[in-house]
Structure 1
Amino acid sequence: MRARPPGPRGVPLFGNSQQYAKDPFSFLTACADAYGDVVHFDLGPLETYMLTNPDDIETVLVSEAEKYRKPRFQDDAIGDLLGEGLLMSEGETWREQRELAQPAFNMQRIASLDETMTDYTEAMLDDWHDGETLNVQIEMARLTVKIIVEAMFGSSAGDERVQRVQEHLEPLGARFEPDPRRFLIPDWAPTRENREYHEAISVLEDIIDDIVSDRRGTESDPERMDLLSILMRAQARGEQTDKQLRDEMMTMLLAGHDTTALTLTYAWFMLSQHPEVEEKVHAELDEVLGGDAPTARDTRKMRYTDQVLQETMRLYPPVYTLFREPLVDVKLGGYRVPEGAAVMLPQWAVHRSSRYYDNPLEFDPDRWTPAERSKRPRLSYFPFGAGPRHCIGKQFSMLEAKLILGTVAQKYSLDYVGEDDSLTLRGSLTMHPRNPMEMQLHSR
C-alpha cells in the first residue's frame, strides 16, 4: 500500500481551507487535474481524501457502503437543522425511516402527482407576461416549495408561507458557504451569523408545526399516502416522536425543493445560451404534447428534454460534492485511508473530467443517448448519489423537472439578460448562482 496520496500544500491550522473557500469549484478541478485519482488535503482540522475515479466512488457508495457513514463533521454542522431526518440519520434509525418513507415515493404514486405539478406551474404562468424580466431562480424555488408541500405534506403553501420560507433560507445558505474560520467559532458563540441561523431554523420549524397542526385529524385516512400522513400514522402507533416527524419534514422541505429549483434554473440558463438546443426541445414538445399540459406518461417520450436535464446536472450538479467517513481503515486507489477521515466525492470535478467526457465544458445533450451513455463508467455521473443511500426523491425530482420544463417551454422562451455570462457560482449545501438569474420572457 502506497504512502499518503499527493495533494496541495496547506498552511498551519487552516490547511487548504482558505484556498477551498476562495473558489471551491476551481480548487476541486485543479486538484483532480494536478494530482490524479486520490488527492489528500486538509480543510482546517478535517483530513480529507478526494476521490475522482468512478471505481473508487462505486466502492464507497455501493459495493462497500457498509464501511462508511455520513461524516460526523456534518452532524455538527447541520444537526441543528436536519436532526435525524433521512439525510443525516445512520444505522437502524436510517433503515427504519427509509422503509417508512418509501411508499410516498412509489413510482405509481409519484406519477399520480403529475396534474398537481402542472397545475401549480400553470398558475405561476398566469402571473408571467411577455417581455417581463424575472429572477428565474426565485420563480423556480417558489414553485417547487408549493409542489413539495402539496405532494409530500398534503397541504398548501400560500404566497405568504412561501415568502417566509424563502426569506429564511438565505441565512441557512450563508451558514454553509466554505469559511476557513468557521471551525474556530463554536455554535453557541453570539455572532450575527449564529443568531440569524438559529432564528431561521426557529421560523422554519414554526412553519412545519403549522402544517402539521392543519393536518391533525386527517392522518387516519389510509388512502392518503403523502409523507406527512405516513409519518403521522406512525406517530399514532408510537413509532415516531415529534422531533423525528419534524426532522423528516425539514429534510423534505429543504432537500425536496432546492435541488430541483436549481436544476431548472441552470437548464433555463443553458437553453438561453444554446438556441439550437432550445429549438430541439421546442420541436419535441410540439410533437409530443401538441400544446397540451404534459403528463407523466408523456415524459417517457420527452427523451431529448430528459437529455437536456441530464447534461445540465452534469455541468451544474446542485449537490456538487458528497462526503463519507470510514468506520474502519480502508484502502482506496492503493492508499490507506484512516478511520474517521473525510472521503470527498466531488460530482463537480468528476462530471467535468476529460477522462470521461470529450470536450467536457461544452453543453451537449447528445452525450445522453443510450449508445453514448453506455461508453462511460457508471459512476462518472452521480448527481443523485448511488447505492443504498441514493436520493430517495430522484424519480420525483426528475418527473417534476420534466413537467415544469415542458409546461413552461411550450409557452415561453427565456432569454438570460443578467450581467454574469460566465455564471459565477457559490458553494453551500448546494451550488447556487452568486448573482441574480434575470431572464426576459418571450411568448412562443
Structure 2
Amino acid sequence: MKLRDGSRIAIIGGGPAGAFFAHFARRFAEAQGLEVAITIFDGKNFLERGPRGCNLCAGVISNSLETKLNEERLLLPESRVLSRIEGYRIHIGGQTLRLSCAENGRPPIATVFRGNGPRLSCFPGVVSFDDHLLHDARDRGTEVIPFPVWKIELPRPSSSPPALFFGDRRSPERREADLVIGAFGVNSFLFREIQKLGFSYRPPATLTTFQAEFRVDDSRRSKRLGSDIHVIVPPSKQIRYVTVIPKGEYATVAVVGRRNATPELVTEALASARLRDILPLGGAHCFCYPRIAVSSSKNPSTGRFVIIGDASFCRHYKNGIESAFVTARLAAEAVFRHGLDAGSLRRAFFVPARRLIARDNAYGRALFRLNETLSAVPLLAQVHYSLARDDSHSRASKKIRRLLWDLFTGSAPYREIFFRALDVRLQLALARHTIELLWKKAIWRLAK
C-alpha cells in the first residue's frame, strides 16, 4: 500500500510537527515525481495574542534545531526572534555557574513566542514562530483549513481511506484522506480521543507545568536578567527547576515540579528569593498550565495513520520543537519510501523513533536523577559546581562545564553525555576536589 499520484494527505495540527511534515512530504513527493494534495487542519489562529493563539511552549530554538532549519531552507527570520541568548546561568545551593555559547563554540540561541505574544502585549508586527512555519507551508502549496478536527474514522481493513470530521462540531464536514498525520500534541483533546480508535495507541505520560510571561523594564533586563537563560534549582522537595527565558521586553518563567503544578506549588516557586532577585514579579501578562510529555507513546501508528510530535516521541525535558522536526522527517520517509500499511510504518517509523529518542531518554532520566541527587546534597553540589568554576581552566573543569552545557541545552544525545560523565579522569578529579574541600573545611573549623 503506497502513496501515488493524486494521493491526499491530511495533517491534524498546524504547529511545528504538522508544518514540518508538510515540508518533508512535499520534498519526498517531488523526489519521487508524485503530485500529492496536502491539507493541514487547525482551528487555532497563531496571529492571536495569549493562550488562544499559542501552542503553550517555552519557545527556545536550540542551535541544533536552527542548523536543521537552515539546512532545509526553513530560515528563521530575525523579525520572529525576540532575543538571542548568549549563555545559561545555573543557580543552585547559593552558587551560580555561567556557561556561555561562545566557550562551547555555539552561536547565540534564539527565543520565540509560539503565538503572537502574551495576552496584554502589543508588538508592531507579527512575532509568532508557528505562524511563520504555517505560512511557509502554505506558500509551498499546502492547503490550510482553519477549523479543528473533531473526529477520525479508521476503517478496517486499512485498504479503505480514513475520514476526518471538521468544522462546526454540531454539523461537521467529512473528508477522506489516503494518509492521516496526527500532529496535535499532548495539549489537545484529540490526544485522549485517539485511544478509542482501537489500534492500541497508548499516549505518553504527561506532567502539568506552569508558564507565565512578565514584562521586564530596561534597567532590570540589562543588570540582572541579561542575555542568559537562568535555571534555578531551589531547595524544594516539590520543584525540580524554575527557568527564566529572556524574550525582548518580556521574560518567560517556566516552573517544572516533581508532580503536576498546582496554585500552591506555583506560589512557592514564584516566591523564590533567587527568582525575585533576577526578576521582580508584577502581574503576569499571560499564563498557562501546559502539559509536557515525560515518557514515550506506545503504538503511535497503524495503517494509514501516524502520530508525530510530543504525542508520539519527545526528548526528556528538552527540545520539543526539535523532536517534532525529527519525528516529522522519520514519518515522511516511512510513508514515501516504505508504505502506508501498519507493518511498514512500525518498521520504518516506530522502531527508528524509539531507538533514536525513547532509548536515549533512559539515559536522560538517569542524568536528571543524578543531577537532582547532587543538588540535594550540599557537599556534592559544591564539589561539582566549584570544579566547574575553576579559574585554572583545567581539563576536568572544561569537561564538567561541557557536560552541564549539553545537559541543560540538550545539545548532545543523553547516552553520549552519560558515558562522558563516567570518564575515569573526570571521576578522579572530582574525588581529589572532594578531599580538598573536606580538608579546607576541617582546617576552617579548627581555626575557629
Higher fraction of strand: 2
TM-score by length of 2: 0.25
TM-score by length of 1: 0.25
Higher fraction of helix: 1
Structure scoring higher RCO (CA < 8 A, sep ≥ 6) equals 1
